[in-house]
Chains A and B, each alone.
Chain A
Amino acid sequence: MNSHEHDVNFVNDLDVALSSTRVLRLALNVLYDGMEELYDRASDAAAKRRFHDLMGEVHQHLSKAEADALSRCGLAEFFTVIKPLSPLSMPSPEAVKEITAAVSALERHGLLALQSDALIRDRDVRGSGVEGGAEA
């Protein structure tokens, strides 16, 4: 699989993963953008607070649903949590020991995901004819 095919598959996977929340997210954005100015202009501070609380609550709900959908799709790109170390400014030996121990712990608990994991799962799932069976 070349880089372009990977990019296309990645976008397609994103598209599928977010299909159930896409319309809701669009609706929330439309409502938020359209109503925010009206509430901000109004003198009723309580109503303004209630509006922002409601929008924030729906946003949190959608964010969780989106994250769940992405994790079910096995898009490892979204779960890369460790930045690479720069060889030009390496941490102290003590810090390296701590980092090594932390990464080992993550690996031991199956929490390390690499970009290649998503492609391998994607290929395996398609090959076996199973839909959406990948784990995060």
Chain B
Amino acid sequence: MDAHPSVNDPVLELALRHAREQRDEITLWLAAQVLMTDDVALADDKLQDRLLVLQDRVENMMRARYGLPDRDAPREHA
């Protein structure tokens, strides 16, 4: 069986390591994701947007921990 192309991928390894290190925040992010998959939330654009804002806030907490800019912060072009 051929090795999966992502085996030994350092980026994937780093992402998984960060995920393990931030279990609490990832739990919150997933909780928001679960609520967004509810039928009522899916049918309600405003509710969906507000849950997205909450989820973005969780992501920004994780970004801040690693010194990364907020999710919506303007990016520098390479």
Contacts and interface: CB of A to CB of B under 8 A. Distances in A.
Interface of A: 23-24, 26-28, 30-31, 34-35, 38, 50-51, 54, 57-58, 61, 65
A28 to B, nearest CB: 6
Interface of B: 24, 27-28, 30-32, 34-35, 38, 40-41, 47, 50-51, 54, 57-58, 61
B68 to A, nearest CB: 18
Contact of B47 (A28, A38, A51, A57): A57
A28 B47 CA distance: 14
Given A24-B35, A58-B35, A61-B40, A34 B28 contact: yes
Contacts of A54: 47, 50-51, 54
B34 A24 contact: yes
**Closest 8 pairs (CB-CB, A-B):** A27-B34, A31-B31, A27-B31, A30-B31, A34-B28, A54-B50, A27-B35, A24-B38
A68 B46 CA distance: 23
Contacts of A26: 31
17 contacts: A23-B34, A26-B31, A27-B34, A28-B35, A30-B27, A30-B28, A30-B31, A31-B54, A35-B54, A35-B58, A50-B50, A54-B47, A54-B50, A54-B51, A57-B47, A58-B47, A65-B40
Contacts of B54: 31, 35, 51, 54
B42 to A, nearest CB: 12
A76 to B, nearest CB: 27
